[in-house]
Chain A
């Protein structure tokens, strides 16, 4: 892979992280509002939501490094009628713009919690549409390694897995800095971490289910797909094994510990450490997975 392909990897991973994190943070926020109060909801979830904006800005900046002729981007007419790549670009730009508006509303305390939450959920839908577009972009008939339902499914799983653990990390980073932590908030954060851990384990299960189906699919799709399969189990076998090991350690083992420890009183420090480590392992694993995605595709024909 060269710098232009790394740009795609960073864009797609960060874009999916942002879309997933936003969704999870909005669910968490709705929970705090209901169980603890609006003021605490802002304190707990605003800084993590700003982080989502930052991540998405980085994603868009990274995507620019993919292009050979940046000057032509200005004034380019999108080919929305037939090109999913065009739709993806428009979705990504729309996502970051609406996300910025949402962050501004939160930051300047403009509008009621209800209005803010409507804007937030609209933003989340745009984010999910972006993940969908990114998936469909790769459904090219000339690329059998990509041209399968496994591509969009994997992208959504990545978005949600990075989303739950990324949200847990951002929430715990922010929670550590909060001044007054009443019992209700403490209880809420622990419950949140518990369902996040359960979600991570379920998503891990889906990832482990999709992989063997995908490998079996490759074995039936002709020469180009067989080349991909040979690389995945051959030269890149160690990378694939490491990716699986890391995601199992992060979203499986550490998530299970996170779930168990969250049910014991007075374990907050260890909960934060567990959340950070799980996120770090899964992030590395997903980057390796995406690396394999770009490094092992072969075009049919010549």
Chain B
């Protein structure tokens, strides 16, 4: 197996502008409601009263850009009844749309919400790491579009050397479940998966 490819996101640099999400929709021509890459806005803390005034106490907010994690253990692939999901030698997990029967079982199994049903096609679709671009030696559209250069792409071990091994910022799930191929560089307020001090604040956008 050649080196597992992966995304990384620097949470300290991310402003939550969603250029990555839009670049993904544009590049992959996704219909309304299908978002292969999503940006989660996680907020917590509260205001405290001091000398009759409300001042922000431990208030925090940050954004997490996430797509398919092209996991080491892709549970979507294991559970697919039609063997329509495969993992390439470079670790990219792909749904074969000519094999998918549209049962949506993978969307129940994936804790990242990566496989999404395309009503027009009748099959499941998800981030393919812009495999056509990658095969030409280019980088995925989301990574290229980030105006803050918060995203990086490359072999997972190289990204880990550059950015660390953190893979589970809240609200994402515990990384032990599927071993995602991703690296997040946390900012000073980033909480870990399982945190209950904050909440997802942009549900209607997801």
Contact = CB atoms under 8 A, between A and B. Distances in A.
A302 B171 contact: yes
A100 to B, nearest CB: 23
A16 B190 CA distance: 47
A300 B193 CA distance: 11
Nearest to B102: A68
Interface in B94-151: 98-105, 108-113, 117, 119, 121-124
A210 B164 CA distance: 45
Interface stretch (A52-60, A84-92, A173-181, A197-205): A84-92
B82 A84 contact: no
Contacts of B100: 68-69, 72
A223 interface: yes
Contacts of A70: 101
B81 A301 contact: no
B112 A78 contact: no
B87 to A, nearest CB: 12
A136 to B, nearest CB: 11
B101 A68 contact: yes
Given A67-B102, A76-B101, A301 B112 contact: yes
Contact of A77 (B83, B117, B124, B194): B83
Contacts of A143: 108-109
A83 B111 contact: no
A78 B109 contact: no
Contacts of B173: 142, 300-302
A69 B123 contact: yes
Consensus secondary structure, chain B interface: loop
A142 B75 contact: yes
B122 A78 contact: no
- What is the interface residue range for chain A against chain B? 20 to 34
Contact of A299 (B40, B111, B117): B111
B82 A77 contact: yes
A73 B122 CA distance: 12
Interface residues of B, number: 39
Interface string A168-204: 0000000000000000000000000000000000000
A67 B113 contact: no
A234 B102 CA distance: 32
Contact of B172 (A72, A142, A301): A301
Interface in A139-155: 140-143
A301 B66 CA distance: 11
A220 interface: no
A235 interface: no
Most chain A CB neighbours (cut-off 10 Å) among B102, B113, B121? B102
B79 interface: yes
Given A68-B101, A72-B98, A142 B111 contact: yes
Contact of B104 (A68, A73, A140): A68
Contacts of B113: 299, 301-302
B86 to A, nearest CB: 11
Contact of A83 (B81, B117, B121, B171): B81
B17 interface: no
B48 interface: no
Contacts of A76: 81-83, 99, 101
Contact of A78 (B83, B104, B119, B123): B83
28 contacts: A4-B104, A67-B101, A67-B102, A67-B103, A68-B104, A68-B119, A69-B100, A69-B122, A72-B99, A72-B102, A76-B83, A78-B83, A79-B80, A79-B82, A82-B79, A83-B79, A84-B79, A140-B109, A141-B111, A141-B177, A142-B108, A223-B196, A299-B108, A299-B111, A300-B173, A302-B40, A302-B112, A302-B200
Interface of A: 4, 66-70, 72-73, 76-79, 82-86, 88-89, 137, 140-143, 222-223, 297, 299-302
Given A67-B103, A68-B102, 6 more contacts: A68-B103, A68-B122, A68-B123, A141-B111, A299-B108, A301-B110
